[in-house]
Amino acid sequence: MKRVAVLSVHTSPLEQPGTGDAGGMNVYIVQTATRMAQRGVEVEIFTRATSSELPPVAELAPGVRVRHVAAGPFEGLGKEELPGQLCAFTAGVLRAEARHEPGYYDAIHSHYWLSGQVGWLARERWGVPLVHTAHTLAKVKNLALAEGDAPEPRMRVIGEEQVVNESDRLVANTDIEASELIKLYDAEPSKVAVVAPGVDLDRFTPGDQARARHWFGIPQDAVVLAFVGRIQPLKAPDVLLRAAAEMLVRDPGLRSKLVVLIVGGPSGSGTERPKALEELAWQLGITDVVRFLPPQPGPTLAEVYRAADLVAVPSHNESFGLVALEAQACGTPVVAAAVGGLPVAVNDGVSGVLVHGHEPGRWASAISGLALPQREHLASNAVGHARRFSWDRTTDALLEGYQEAGEVFRREVFA
């Protein structure tokens, strides 16, 4: 394996996770691509250019290049409008490959269904295997919609079905996602491989909570609950605010100590009302205990986790939940919804607490009645649990999967 083409149509790995369309997928691509290059495999990442000032090619890391493909207007184009630009994006990808000798790429790895559509055609043109990671699935999201969130369109469902059918290898984050691909999308079981995402164990490590709280101006005796992620109904940061309000009703004396950190920016349907979460805090009467911070770069994000007593991940759906792993790697327990891949990312009762449902009272009880009293016990186990997951392990599994997909692809071609 000498060279891999990675497709990420709707979001660039160079963007800051936590706002817009940048999130866990961006982290996944950056971490695995960088490690592939360290193993001697060149990686070229194709993404849509969102500014005329972006260079045609940028170096993400030694051996990892990001190609900005012009497809549609540079700015003001929502993800839901991108299907109309797939032809232009595909043309740019094929044009880049045409400058090289045949067989320049050994495999294609597409991320999200839009990229899978491009990878499907590139696979046919280049004669190399297509490996696809969905990250999220429309049928799964539509089964667990957040209040006020619009269902994924039929066009996406059909597009995902096509990509699942045409891919040589489907990478699922968990056994649950693998089962969803097979049951909901009729994926061939032999094509589905489970490869858990990882966590940057060099960056996210236990640290000095006192120093972290001083960094953010948080009192040392505060009770700190944190949410990290994109501000959208799917991620359900409102659940944490409502739970915090309920905790204050049950224990008014907590108000003098409680700090709720919301770290992230509007994304998806959340951009329609970017101030909605701040308005909710006002309606609940808890603006005095809530602090909003913009998305934080890696080193500062680690300090957010260290400053917190608990990190809440109340999503309505998560294919995995990288935030949960990052927090635990820093020694901070997690209270998470028992959905998607979160029961894998969080060891219930050991490194955190899983909550069934999104009713604020239930979350208030889980936080104040279970997680906070057991905080030290959970924290002592959190790091060990997170260390079961590493990006090195993920990368090695992906490279092995590329090799196996290539062998199957060649057997089918020459059969």
In sign, the C-alpha dihedral spanning 37, 41, 47, 51 is positive
Q: Which residue has the higher pLDDT, 268 or 229?
A: 229
179 and 233 in one domain?
Answer: no
Q: Are 368 and 245 in contact (CB under 8 A)?
A: no
Helix (H) or strand (E) holding 107: strand 107-111
246 and 377 in one domain?
Answer: yes
At 389-413, the pLDDT tens digits run 999 999 999 999 999 999 888 877 6
At 61-78, the pLDDT tens digits run 999 999 999 988 877 777
How far is residue 112 from each of residues 216, 300, 330, measured CA to CA in Å?
A: 35, 28, 29
Q: What is the pLDDT of residue 270?
A: 45
Over range 92-100, report the average pLDDT.
90
Supply 89's token pair.
């994006």
- What domain range is 229 assigned to? 209-387
174 and 100 in one domain?
Answer: yes
Give the percent of the chain with pLDDT over 70.
Answer: 96
Query: Residues within the annotated binding site?
Result: 10, 16-17, 21-26, 79, 112, 136, 156, 230, 235, 296, 305-306, 308, 318, 326, 332
At 187-206, the pLDDT tens digits run 999 999 999 999 999 999 99
223 and 149 in one domain?
Answer: no
Q: What is the pLDDT of residue 23?
A: 78
Give the percent of the chain with pLDDT over 90.
Answer: 79
Q: Check whether 154 has a pLDDT greater than 90.
A: yes
Number of domains in the chain: 2
177 and 237 in one domain?
Answer: no
CATH code where residue 14 lies: 3.40.50.2000
Is residue 189 in a domain? yes
119 and 39 in one domain?
Answer: yes
Is residue 409 in a domain? yes
Q: Could you tell me the pLDDT band of residue 20, with boundaries at 50, 70 and 90?
A: low
Q: What is the pLDDT of residue 316?
A: 93
Over range 151-180, report the average pLDDT.
96
Is residue 203 in a domain? no
Supply 222's token pair.
């505060």
403 and 382 in one domain?
Answer: no
Q: What is the pLDDT of residue 56?
A: 93
Q: What is the pLDDT of residue 102?
A: 84
181 and 40 in one domain?
Answer: yes
Query: Residues within the annotated binding site for Mg(2+)?
Result: 305-306, 308, 332
At 378-390, the pLDDT tens digits run 999 999 999 999 9
Q: If we measure between CA atoms, which residue out of 314, 220, 221, 228 comes closest to residue 265? A: 228
Q: Could you tell me the pLDDT band of residue 125, with boundaries at 50, 70 and 90?
A: very high
DSSP 367: I
Q: What is the pLDDT of residue 197?
A: 96
Query: Residues within the annotated binding site for 1D-myo-inositol 3-phosphate?
Result: 10, 21-26, 79, 112, 136, 156
Q: What is the pLDDT of residue 22?
A: 67
Over range 143-147, report the average pLDDT.
81
Q: Check whether 103 has a pLDDT greater than 90.
A: no
Q: What is the pLDDT of residue 413?
A: 67
At 318-329, the pLDDT tens digits run 988 999 999 999
Query: Residues within the annotated binding site for UDP-N-acetyl-alpha-D-glucosamine?
Result: 16-17, 24, 230, 235, 296, 318, 326
276 and 136 in one domain?
Answer: no
Over range 164-192, report the average pLDDT.
97
170 and 186 in one domain?
Answer: yes
Q: What is the pLDDT of residue 265?
A: 85
236 and 87 in one domain?
Answer: no
How many Å apart are CA 354 and CA 343, to the nearest integer?
Answer: 7
- Which are the contacts of 332, defined by CB distance < 8 A and separation ≥ 6? 305, 306, 308, 309, 310, 311, 379, 382
Is residue 39 in a domain? yes
- Which are the contacts of 147, defined by CB distance < 8 A and separation ≥ 6? 233
Helix axis angle, 175-185 to 154-166, nearest 10°:
100
170 and 219 in one domain?
Answer: no
Supply 258's token pair.
């409680």
In sign, the C-alpha dihedral spanning 59, 2, 69, 77 is negative
Is residue 204 in a domain? no
